[in-house]
Amino acid sequence: MTYYLTKRTLWSAVSLFGLVVFVFFMARLTGSPVDLYLPIDAPESLREDFERIHGFDLPLWQQFVDFLGGLLTFDFGQSLRQGVPALELVLRAMPTTLLLALYSIGLALIVAIVTGALAAWRPNSIFDRIATLLSLLGASLPNFWVAIVGVLIFAVTLRWVPTSGTGSVAQWILPVFVLAIRPAGLLVQVARSSMISALSSAYVKTAQAKGAAPARIIFIHALRNAMLPVITVAGDQAAGIINGAVIVETIFGFPGVGKLLIDSIMFRDFAVVQAGVMVTAVAIFILNFTIDIVYAVLDPRTRGH
């Protein structure tokens, strides 16, 4: 186990390094930021000063060496757009995104476990069919579309929640719901099918034979066994949100990493793009790592590996 985890960490470090190199050059392939930052009629001298101040006049290899040097001390350089260290910007935006992921996956998990368990209790009952259909629908809705339709209905027409912003709890409701819909849809299906197998297992049958209450059977005996695939998929979905809640963050004006990343890409703010990609990759790595450990704890069979 320890050997496995160590090996994984090392390989991930190699991948991260590859990623950083890749991002460095890919980002620069999209062209110089100078024109984007200066007014269209900026004089040549201003353009030269701008390039010199931000180091764009140096040859690319030199920029790369400088970048690698900074990396050793976790210095990704200054944000071109905001003039503060890039890493600081990313770390400031990270909690918002992590909380968004946590809340929406948490919500999705609760919905999925309850619905999935109930649906699996009596497969092909009316409830099961409706739940399956709704979960499929949830997994099929484009989230940008849900977001704008959601704003229209719940904020503009019904006025239940504010349209956007992050200041109050109410402002989190709509984004969290929008982000939770797709994962919830997927998770209900996974929870349902793994509950069905769990409920048909000998272990549960024994519990049933002993006369345990249905709720106890579902939520205590079967659920524990059915959790593994659910956790895997939930992890994947959480990674998806950390990596790309761009649209929801943009529409609702949430200052998360996704929005920061797309703004930085659009404005060719290379330092922030690099820091952002790196930090999200690390976050996702930690997430997967944690899931592996949870997995190992839940499932004794993997411990041997």
Partner 1 sequence: MNSAVLPGEAARRRPRPTKWAMLALLRRDKFALAAAVFLVVVVLAALVGPPLLGGIGIDMDLMARNAPPFEPDRGFWHILGSDALGRPILARIIIAARPTLLIAAAAVLLSMVVGVLLGLIAGYKGGIVGDVIMRLTDIVMSFPSLLLALVVLYIFGPAITNVIIVLAITRVPVYLRTTRAEVLEIRSRMFVVAAEVTGASVFRTVSRHILPMVVPTIATLMTIEFAFVMLAEASLSFLGLGVQAPDFTWGVMVAEGRSYLATAWWLSFWPGVFIALVTMSLNLLSNWLRIATDPVQRWRLEREVASDE
Partner 2 sequence: MDRIMNSTAFAVAAAVLSFAAPAWSQGDTSLTIALPAEPADIDGCNTTVTGIGVIVKENIVETLTTLDPDDSTVQPRLATAWEDLGDGTWRVSLRENVTFHDGAPFNAEAVAFAIDRLTSDAIACRDRTKIANVELTTTVVDEHTIDIHAEPAQILMPTLLSFIGAVSPNTPADEISRAPVGTGPFRFESWDSEGIAVTRNADYWGEEPAATDALYVFRPESALRAAMVELGEADIAHDIAPQDATTEMDHAFLNGETTRLRMVMEPPLDDLRVRKAFNLAFDRNALIGSILSDRAELATQFILPKIDGHNPDLEPWPYDPEQAKALLEEARADGVPVDKELRLVGRIGFFPNQEEMLQVMQQMWSQVGLNVRLEMMESAEWLKLVNKPYPEDREAMLIQEQHDNNNGDASFTMRFRFHSDGRQSEFSIPEVDKLIEDAEAATGEERTRLFQEANRVISEEIVPSVYMYHMISYMRVSPEISYEPNSLSLIQLELADVTFD
| Residue ranges that bind partner 1, judged by CB under 8 A | 11-12, 14-16, 18-19, 22-23, 26-27, 29-31, 123-124, 132-133, 136-137, 139-145, 148-149, 151-152, 156, 186, 189-190, 193, 229, 232-233, 236, 243-244, 246-247, 250, 261-262, 265-266, 273, 276-277, 280-281, 284
Beta bridge partners of 78: 85
- Alpha-carbon distance of 211 to 217, in angstroms, equals 9
- Alpha-carbon distance of 185 to 33, in angstroms, equals 41
Q: Which does 83 bind (CB under 5 to 8 A by kind): partner 1, partner 2, none?
A: partner 2
> Which of 11, 74, 127, 203 touches partner 2 (CB under 8 A)?
127
- Alpha-carbon distance of 120 to 194, in angstroms, equals 9
> Which of 37, 285, 289, 295 touches partner 2 (CB under 8 A)?
37
Q: Are 221 and 205 in contact (CB under 8 A)?
A: no
Q: Which does 41 bind (CB under 5 to 8 A by kind): partner 1, partner 2, none?
A: partner 2
DSSP label at residue 124: T
DSSP label at residue 115: H
In which region does residue 82 sit, left (phi positive, over 0), alpha (psi from -120 to 50) or beta (all else)? Answer: alpha
- Contact call for residue 18 and partner 2 (CB under 8 A): no
SS3 43: coil
Shortest distance in whole angstroms from residue 137 CB to partner 2: 17
Of the ranges 20-28, 49-57, 69-77, 294-302, which one interacts with partner 2 (CB under 8 A)? 49-57
- Burial of 14 from C-beta contacts in 10 A (0-12 / 13-18 / 19+): exposed
Residues within window 254-273 making contact with partner 2, judged by CB under 8 A:
255, 263, 266-268
- Alpha-carbon distance of 289 to 38, in angstroms, equals 44
Of the ranges 11-19, 58-66, 79-87, 230-238, which one interacts with partner 2 (CB under 8 A)? 79-87
**Closer residue to partner 2 (CB): 51 or 292:** 51
Q: Which does 94 bind (CB under 5 to 8 A by kind): partner 2, partner 1, none?
A: none
Site size toward partner 2, by CB under 8 A = 53
Please tell me the number of Cα atoms within 13 Å of 152 on its side-chain side. Answer: 6
Q: Which does 140 bind (CB under 5 to 8 A by kind): partner 2, partner 1, none?
A: partner 1
Beta bridge partners of 85: 78
> Which of 12, 20, 33, 185 touches partner 2 (CB under 8 A)?
33
And the tokens for 103?
A: 């809340």
- Alpha-carbon distance of 109 to 207, in angstroms, equals 25
Other C-beta atoms lying within 10 Å of the C-beta of residue 7: 10
Residues forming the site for partner 2 (CB under 8 A): 30-31, 33, 35-43, 45-46, 49-50, 52-53, 81-84, 92, 96, 114, 118, 121, 127, 148, 151, 155-156, 159-170, 173, 250-251, 253, 255, 263, 266-268
